[in-house]
Amino acid sequence: MINHSGDVDKPGISMKQSYWEKQTQKALKKLADPKWREEQRAKRLQQAQRQQQRAREKAASPEYRQKKIEKAKQYEQRRKEKAASAPVKKTRTSRGLKGRTLTADERRIQTAIGALPCIACHMHGQHSPVVSLHHIFGRTAENAHKYVLPLCKWHHQHAAPAEIREQYPWLVPVHADGKIGGKADFRRHNADEMTLYQMVTELIN
């Protein structure tokens, strides 16, 4: 079509621009609506709760645990083969009192466990290589330094930011950080400490 100025009009372009402008305005209107935002927040919360329930059901399944242990063994074997010539990585120890001095056997076990990724993240299919060691029975009891778990900072002693906890509701610390976490909450969202320790021993053995 030729307009009054002699230029050729392209009818499809103006229609497309109008359509996308309308879609943009519609999206902006939704974002500005508190009711819509609250509905979306509620949907995300429900989705997170469903994911949490599925994760708990999986964690309670012996078949699932065995499958995760086998996968972790394979991963650790590949990692050891690649890192055979690499320098030994230093790992951070858990906070608090040191307790008694480690025996040679305890030091050997802690070195092996400290090389693993976070065991709680691992059971949820996530990989967190930076860990500190959590003492299950404190630091002064007999063999206390053998019973440790490799945990990331957000599973060990620090509360993850709220937006991260909303996406990963199982990411709670075993040591309560304010009102977040604690042993009971950690166990409810992940597994009891001795179950995780059993997974750890399977990996290092």
pLDDT in tens, 114-125: 999 999 999 888
**173 domain-assigned:** yes
Mean pLDDT over residues 30-36, rounded? 76
**192 against 75, higher pLDDT:** 192
Radius of gyration of the chain (CA): 26
First to last CA, the chain: 79
pLDDT at residue 194 greater than cutoff 70: yes
**2 domain-assigned:** no
pLDDT at residue 95 greater than cutoff 50: no
**38 domain-assigned:** no
**43 domain-assigned:** no
CATH number at residue 165: 3.30.40.190
Residue 117 region by backbone torsions, left for phi larger than 0, else alpha for psi between -120 and 50, else beta: beta
Q: How far apart are CA 121 and CA 75, in angstroms?
A: 15
**162 domain-assigned:** yes
**3 domain-assigned:** no
106 close to 143: Cβ distance less than 8 angstroms = yes
**1 domain-assigned:** no
Range of weakest confidence among 48-57, 114-123, 149-158: 48-57
Domain that includes residue 176, residue range? 61-204
Do the bridges between strand 148-151 and strand 132-135 make them parallel or antiparallel, or are there none, so unpaired? antiparallel
pLDDT at residue 15 greater than cutoff 70: no
Tell me the pTM: 0.54
Mean pLDDT of the chain: 79
Mean pLDDT over residues 124-129, rounded? 90
Q: What pLDDT, on the 0 to 100 scale, is given for residue 65?
A: 72
**19 against 115, higher pLDDT:** 115
**40 domain-assigned:** no
Q: With pLDDT > 70 as the criterion, what percentage of the chain qualifies?
A: 75
Instruction: Tally the domains of the chain.
Output: 1
